[in-house]
Amino acid sequence: MDDLNKDERVHNIKVDKENQQQQRPESSTQSKSESLETSNKIRTSAWITLGILGSTILITMYGETMLLPAIRDIIRDFNISYSTSSWILTAYLISGAVATPIAAKLSDIYGRKKMVMIILIIYIIGICAGGFSTNISFLLVARVIQGIGISMFPIAFGIIRDQLPKEKLAIGVGVFSSMFAAGSVVGLAVGGSIIQSFGWHATFLLIVPVAISLWIVINRFIDGDNKSTEGVEEKEGNLTQADANTESNTGHPPSTGGDGANSSSGRQNLDVKGAITLAVTIASFLLTLTYIGNGSNNNSSSNVSVNSTQIIVVSLALLSVGSLALFVIIERRASSPLIELSLLKHKILLPANIIILIFGMTMFMAYQTTPILVRSPHPLGFGGDAVTSAMVQLPFMIVFLVFAPSSGFIVSKIGNLKPTIAGTIIMTIGFFSLFMFHSTEFIVAINLAIIAGGISLIQVGAFNITMEYTPLQFSGVSLGVSVVLVLIGSSIGPAIAAIYMQTHQQELANRVDSGGSSSSSSNSSFPSPISYDLIFLTAALISAISIALVIILKRNMTQSQSTFKKLEIEASSKKRNDREDSPPI
């Protein structure tokens, strides 16, 4: 009797399992389709968060570009050289490059929302200080404080990334990129008008109420320390893809840090030594470029002055190389490094990050050069005022503003690679066209618009590639590295442009300023036409390198995808064999 009851129980178990197996395909297919449909949708709260945090990017980019139309005025007011004027941009960008990895690490320790709010307060202090600048030293200190605001970008996007599904991540990158353009449009258009009417000091003071209002909104509506289910799904997808690529790498160190405030790692410490050596490396390198530009213009000076300049240049160059080597040593030994060096050797991340560096470098070479070309007097420039300078650059910003979010939707539909390839080609064509044709304001504006179309595709595509192919445990660090490379490139670009403008100058006997009145100012030397030719040619050649890099990137991505498919097939066949070999119940 017991044996019969046992056989009956076993039979009932088999029947129940068969019924479950028959019902499972239908229910699992339905649940998968429902979850896929849900995960592919962007929630309303995510759109609101995207808009609010995107506004932080808008005001920081306003702070970066608002002074571009006034560079000529600042050179006159403070009686400084063109190489020195490049530090109005580079001081801002260097500060952001150094602060970004530090802020990212601190956001892991203290929370993302808290760090965004602290950084925004620092930015408000910086723009207030800029409004009361009375000399170039005070202005550069204010710009350094303002530059810390750039470090909000990876932290803010980290909050957004946790709320977006993987398939829609490119849209978030596109919207954030459009905020970069929107801030630049506001900075150039509004900044130019303010400078013309009230002077360049007013550009700082008028943004203070906006920044304070944004701080209040973030404090009230943003919750930056909770992870959504979509974010978890995205990370699982990234982890699967990363596993397919890990074999081709030399191996990543076991450190994790995560990318949110809720990191499970116990090693929550800041790499102070790495931060200091990184700051020294970047600053000394750019100081070397500046002194080369200033020294080459002192050919008529005494031998003592020339020799002292050469000593300073060599010393700064050695300091830059030495601090870079020390930074690498420190990061290799650090338990929680500021920048994960293994990411820089990744066969997909390396070319993608170099492309990001190139677009930052070339874009800001144009940023630095265009206002001076427009505002220099005839026949060396166009003889325009601050508003004219803003109008020439406005098409660049408008195209970028329109194309950046569109590029996000394009990438989400056809993938990352094709838009990136198209972007590098368009950008290169634009810079070569600018090199050959820059005789009128209209032609310059058209060429800048072409360049903007290519850059918008590159920015969204390349950034999305770095996030998609980064192993899960390094996703936050990888985004920080990409942002730092953009900022480094954005610092190098203006410095190179300033060297050309400083070394190739021409004097005008009777200078007429943009207001139409004669001026006998001692600052009567202006960049010669050959300086602009060299700047635009250099930008074009550097852009051409990105085409070669994207070809390498395509090959590496194809190999990685084939490896991933092979691993998928092996895993599925192994599951099938295990299922066939398992004994029946």
Encode pLDDT of 263-293 as tens digits.
444 445 777 888 888 878 877 887 787 677 5
Give whole-number Cα distances, 168 to 116, 160, 165, 420, 462, in Å. Answer: 24, 11, 5, 17, 15
The string of pLDDT tens digits covering residues 186-229 is: 776 777 778 888 888 888 888 889 889 989 988 888 875 544 43
Please tell me the pTM assigned to this model. Answer: 0.70
pLDDT of residue 478: 73
Q: How far is CA 310 from CA 176, 305, 315, 320, in A?
A: 43, 9, 8, 15
pLDDT digits (tens, 9 = 90+) for 393-418: 888 878 877 777 777 777 777 878 88
Query: pLDDT tens, 351-366?
Result: 998 998 998 889 888 8
DSSP H helical ranges for 376-440: 386-414, 417-436
Residues 6+ apart with CB under 8 A from 478: 340, 343, 349, 466, 467, 470
- Could you report the per-residue pLDDT of 180-189, keeping only the tens digit for each? 767 766 776 7
- 75 has a pLDDT exceeding 70: yes
pLDDT of residue 567: 62
**pLDDT tens, position by position, 78-108:** 888 766 777 787 788 778 877 887 887 788 7
Domain boundary assignment for the chain: 43-271+334-505+525-577, 272-333
> In percent, how much of the chain has pLDDT > 70?
71
Give the span between the Cα atoms of 385 and 439, in whole angstroms: 17
- What tokens were used for 308? 């002292």
Indicate the pLDDT class of residue 568, thresholds 50, 70 and 90.
low
User: Is the confidence at residue 521, as pLDDT, over 50?
Assistant: no
Q: What is the pLDDT of residue 510?
A: 57
Q: Which of 462, 351, 337 is nearest to 408 (CA)?
A: 462
Q: Give the pairing type, strands 518-519 and 511-512.
A: antiparallel
Kindly report, residue by residue over 464-478, the tens digit of the pLDDT: 888 778 765 666 667
Q: Look-up: residue for tokens 């449909």?
A: 37
Contacts by residues 40-43 (CB-CB < 8 Å, ≥ 24 positions apart): 40/165, 40/167, 40/168, 41/165, 42/164, 42/165, 42/168, 42/171, 43/163, 43/228, 43/230
d(CA 75, CA 386): 13
Decide if 254 contacts 473 (C-beta within 8 A): no
For residue 574, the model assigns a pLDDT of 67
Lowest mean pLDDT: which of 376-385, 408-417, 441-450, 553-562? Answer: 408-417
Give me the pLDDT at residue 476, please: 62
pLDDT the model gives residue 394: 81
| Cα R_g (the chain), whole angstroms | 27
**Does residue 523 register a pLDDT over 60?**
no
Q: What pLDDT score was predicted for residue 268?
A: 55
pLDDT in tens, 415-437: 788 888 999 999 999 999 999 99
Quote the CA–CA distance of 465 and 415 in Å, as a whole number. Answer: 9
Query: CATH assignment of 43-271+334-505+525-577?
Result: 1.20.1250.20
Coil, helix or strand for 163?
Answer: coil
pLDDT on residue 325:
93
Instruction: Tell me what pLDDT residue 488 has.
Output: 78
CA distance 376 to 498: 14
**pLDDT at residue 526 above 90?**
no
Rounded CA-CA distance 148/103 in Å is: 9
Phi and psi torsions of 525, nearest 5°: -95, 140
> What is residue 302's predicted lDDT score, i.e. its pLDDT?
52
Is the pLDDT at 149 greater than 50? The verdict is yes
| Cα–Cα separations (whole angstroms), residue 55 to 12, 156, 213, 227, 394 | 62, 10, 11, 21, 19
Q: Is the pLDDT of residue 145 over 80?
A: yes
Query: Token pair 């403008």 is at which residue?
Result: 501
